[in-house]
Chains A and B, each alone.
Chain A
């Protein structure tokens, strides 16, 4: 069974949000406060009828409602029609019992609807309430009810619901999520019925035998031996009533260390793996919050491999890690932002490359509004310097993210950007052929007007450094001041000694940067760092300035 779509209306920050999901794996990314956790909470609500581990019926609080809807209500005359409502609809595949047309789109489909709405039975009481209260400053949640139905319009009961989800969120282990509830969920997913019963029986017997220990009996015999407290027999016993206490009395242990005392990273891993193993085979959807938390790179890599292997349940993972995203295949990305976007149609080859080379910062292209892609660190440093020089702050402070593409090249990043719609400015060397490397290359992306290319039009200025030299060689004075900033003292002295005129000086500088290889690469970066660190100003080629201007 899997969730094909969710519709959320009025729940926290979501107003009329529709998200489609992949059958197996969904990697949910988004900026901070974009609603990643809220999305998982919404699934948990609709599927399990639970909010933070407790039945929603007893957990209706004002914080669940959309802030704007709440303000609209508070500004209104408070009649019940203005009370904000929450609706979550989950569309399923593989759950025929939940089929019908009772959903907001009136389509014949399988699914679940959860509504948190005004309880009509309380209309009279509510009328009295608004009569008596002049300054209502919060939502009177006491007048709400939860309506939990499938698309066949039959009520869903927690114990015989057809679909089940498990939300793993280590950060919530305490205190909002009751420990016993949480362990209970884990036990539930890990043991089959028989094993659970055996565990329970043995636990009860153990407590029973505690009561019969000779020393415990001795203590009890002395407790009220002269019957001062009561005429009856008073004793201290282990509580053997009920079934619930099994969870509160049990604890997971790793190498004999209690679960809450082992490392956070290990806790995290174990919970995720237990849930994925799901020996009880009773979980349809597993939701994991930020698996990268508290894990070293090596352990994360192992865990991610484990996650990638699993096939039986539908998985929802939130993450801030490009590594997790690339390794689990970037085509599974679900971006939450102003719009909801997926990368289903991304080029298969690009996805494959990223799976093999997961270390690249692909998430930044997905999350940033404005991106500048550059070839090397020198370009990045000079762009930042130039921006700082003109605006008094670094470009990232204005939401412009400069990414060095390195090994995987522009194509992979642009492939992501073109599906997401990120504004991208590509700063690229013309490599001696502006027509072929810039114009023709750019034409591949002519359908995406949010992607544009920047380079020097002069074919002789084939990379960054020649363009810098050209920008600063108006006369000997300007070129000298540039050389003084860009070169080390030793090299600058050599430059002054060796060269007698503007042409020679230009030639010197060209040759200084003029080749490939380790040595030259180092010289270029050193120069960029010197320019970046210097308080003196140099002249910049125009295309850099253009690349930095977004509208």
Chain B
């Protein structure tokens, strides 16, 4: 490649690379360095290299509860997103009017574009003791006393599913869109009922989308904290909330840094595994 070209490429990439190196890579590296420091009882930070924070994580039952809570949430949220998201994505892709499809698409994307505050407050209004749902149920005589929904793990699940559903639906919708419908017709011409067609043809061929969506939802659920914080308060057993609490309430930055890296490691692991799985799934679908 000529020198002029090399210069051009360097020039085009320089701003982005500089920005990311200075304000992403370096802070991350420094965070790691911080995670190896430790804070003593007087809130003074000692920068000697030690694994005390990581050991703390490994042995402290408080953090184990946090991890377990996040794992539970991840399972439930992912399952719900899959069971609700696939049919909804299918519906959107196969609806006949383009106007309707655009509208549905806008609805799917809306949680992403709306501030997390608005989303969370919406759930507060809906789920509060004197909120919409309780109000409706009470006036219909279906319950006698308001159901406690806000502040429970259940409300965290609901609010999390709401914000992560688009991440499951969009890759699946994309996979469905690139599926040639003639294959479904072929299956039917050979005698497969609509359900058989779905299980044997549609689902296997949209697997890459399902894997992509699932891994995205898992990775995002592991690190979620604002939505649960606003909807259920800081006492929920979630890993990211634990990090938030440790860092900004207790001001133990070294510990917070270490926990952050544990979370990062988990997230990267999920993404790497998903990437591997995606390759094999894509291969079998040709």
Task: Say whether A and B bind each other.
Answer: no
Q: List B residues at the A interface (Cβ < 8 Å).
A: none
